[in-house]
Structure 1
């Protein structure tokens, strides 16, 4: 369970829509390239219509501050089957990093699972506790320059560890305003600022993850309910 999972969902039944070309996509899609089970014709580059509208607003604000820069979409809609695949993939990778067997119970394995769990929501099939990305209301993204190249942000998307926390580089940036850490911190702050200006809420552990309309958004914004619930793994009937 996440702290936001107790928040009720009143589904507005708004369809997913394809992310428009005005928003840069980072391709090939990283999870699809790993073989994640999206199914035929189930593109991950889809979001609820209200979320897409706000992403375009955020990009307009970004370009007022940094002409030529753009938001760059890493991941968007994620079926629960893909969530399950990626949780397992991340656990195996983390266990491999520290040299343990992911299928052998041990305190080290428990710690690895807890570390992964700070970043990957449980792949719940319960409609009352959907993983944020399964709602079509959460997006993972970064910044790109005028040439369409993703900018360094001081940590890779999906990195397991404190480096992924939004303010990780703040202390180093304050200590030395000319350091790379200062550049990374400024970019993370810029991303957070333009997304917040469009109504998004940021995941507390992930500089790249923002939500609008799901339970995480409701928890962080103080809303009494969410209005986007899970969009099923077979989503073709729910697309605009």
Structure 2
């Protein structure tokens, strides 16, 4: 159990709404749809009503600094079946990347790789007390595109299983860096901070280990808000949907 899963949920009943595709940048087809993830006719580009309102505010904040830039929605709603599919897919990809064969893993190797996967992917739990964040319609994976429609370089791709995914990975310089590497690091960190600041101003909170993952109203959001206000008990308003 992760710390945020202990947060109680008081479901508010807000509906899932489609994200207006004309307002934001999106990948088409959706990256997990291309992998044949089982959405069962539901759209991955859906969020709760309050979350959609927050995304619109975040983009407004962004465009005050960079007119014509847009938030790109990489992923939003995931049925639990899709969460399971992506955990299994990521596990298999990690096994292959590390030079193993799926049918020859020892129990120790399997457990070690699962721990790597679950650092970044939520357990696809059907327990209503601890739903995966994306299965609540309250979590989004986002990045930025500039006024030319080009992806803004964040220094690592979404879903990468490595420390480069940590939001502040590029904040600190290495003594081994040359000036070019230092400039790149500063650019990556500045771009991540731009995204983070727009989302935080709109009421979202950022996953501690993923520069792209933000939520509003789910258990992770409530847990992070509680860390900021130690004297206040904050509950989640969105459960699995």
Partners of 2:149 and 2:225 in 1: CA distance? 32
Kept in 1: contact 2:225–2:234 (CA 8 A): no
* Cα-to-partner distance string for 1:110-163 (whole Å, 9 max, x where unaligned): 221111110000000001100000000000000001122221110000000101
* Paired position in structure 2 for 1:147: 148
Structure 1 residue 27: Cα displacement:
1.9
TM-score by length of 2: 0.91
The answer as to 2:12 corresponding to 1:12 is yes
Kept in 2: contact 1:12–1:227 (CA 8 A): yes
Partners of 1:182 and 1:28 in 2: CA distance? 32
Structure 1 residue 173: Cα displacement:
8.7
The answer as to 2:208 corresponding to 1:198 is no
> What's the secondary structure of 2:28's corresponding residue?
coil
Partners of 2:149 and 2:156 in 1: CA distance? 19
Kept in 2: contact 1:173–1:182 (CA 8 A): no
Partners of 1:210 and 1:193 in 2: CA distance? 11
* Paired position in structure 1 for 2:186: 182
The answer as to 2:78 corresponding to 1:74 is no
Displaced runs of 4 or more, over 4 A: 173-178
* Paired position in structure 2 for 1:166: 167
For the aligned residues, what is the CA RMSD?
1.6
Structure 1 residue 164: Cα displacement:
0.2
State the aligned residue count: 230
* Paired position in structure 2 for 1:37: 38
* Paired position in structure 2 for 1:53: 53
Shift in alpha-carbon separation, 1:206–1:48, aligned structure 2, 3 A: same
Partners of 1:150 and 1:27 in 2: CA distance? 14
Kept in 1: contact 2:79–2:135 (CA 8 A): yes
* Paired position in structure 1 for 2:106: 105
Point out where structure 2 has 5 or more consecutive residues left out of the alignment.
Answer: 227-232
The answer as to 2:234 corresponding to 1:224 is yes
* Paired position in structure 2 for 1:237: none
Shift in alpha-carbon separation, 1:173–1:186, aligned structure 2, 3 A: farther
TM-score by length of 1: 0.92
> What's the secondary structure of 2:106's corresponding residue?
coil
Kept in 1: contact 2:217–2:238 (CA 8 A): yes
